[in-house]
Amino acid sequence: FEGSETHYFLGERYRLRIIEKTVVPHTVEVKGGVLFVTETEKQGKWTDYVNLDIGKQPGVTILLPEKEYKALRAESQSGDVHVMNALRFDSASVICQSGDIRFAADVSDTLILKTQSGEIEMDSRSCGEARIESRSGDAEVKNTALSGSLSVTSQSGEIDMENVTSQRSMTLKTQSGEI
């Protein structure tokens, strides 16, 4: 199964391209200028939901035009979320129950990255303030200049920092792991 590609037009100026690599039934709709991709109730044979392609993960890739957006809010129950560096947001929030977060976009105000079980990597050039939380997984922040404060917490995981500056404060806490 190679997947399918769907194009959506949001108003006159914005086009959204979604590459689907899964047979899991879902809906894609825009309500009030907000894109919703939602898994629908599972129906059909159990074999419709088994991924036998080694190295290929089922999923949905959303490609947005490179520009500045007011806000990003991404939530995933079980899956990775990657936000590339060509995008810019006033504020952003990425929350995963089980999955890794890779965030490289610039955020002028507040960034929140949270996962229950997964690793978090932040590699933004600039950010206002950031709050990063991982219950079980490592957190890494690199190559980022913050105009506000940075808070990184992990209950069970390492915290790595490289080439990070903050105009205010940095708070790093882990219960079981190295900093």
pLDDT tens, residue by residue, 16-53? 566 666 556 667 777 777 777 776 765 555 555 554 44
What's residue 4's pLDDT? 57
State both tokens at 33. Answer: 């200028």
Residue 1 pLDDT grade (very low, low, confident, very high; cuts 50, 70, 90): very low
What's residue 32's pLDDT? 79
What's residue 54's pLDDT? 47
129 within 8 A of 122, measured Cβ to Cβ: no
DSSP symbols for 134-165: EEES-EEEEEEEESS-EEEEEEES-EEEEEEE
**Number of alpha carbons in the 13 Å side-chain half-sphere of residue 5:** 4
For residue 84, which of 105, 59, 64, 113 has the smallest C-alpha distance? Answer: 105
Secondary structure of residue 46 in the 3-state scheme: helix
Report the range out of 9-18, 22-31, 126-135 with the highest average pLDDT. Answer: 126-135
Q: How far apart (Å, rounded) are the C-alpha atoms in residues 120 and 99?
A: 9
Per-residue burial over 79-88, b if 16 or more Cβ lie within 10 Å, else e, is: bbbebeeebb
Q: How far apart (Å, rounded) are the C-alpha atoms in residues 179 and 169?
A: 16
Secondary structure of residue 42 in the 3-state scheme: coil
pLDDT tens, residue by residue, 141-150? 999 999 999 9
A 10 A CB-CB count for 162 gives 10
Say what the pTM is: 0.81
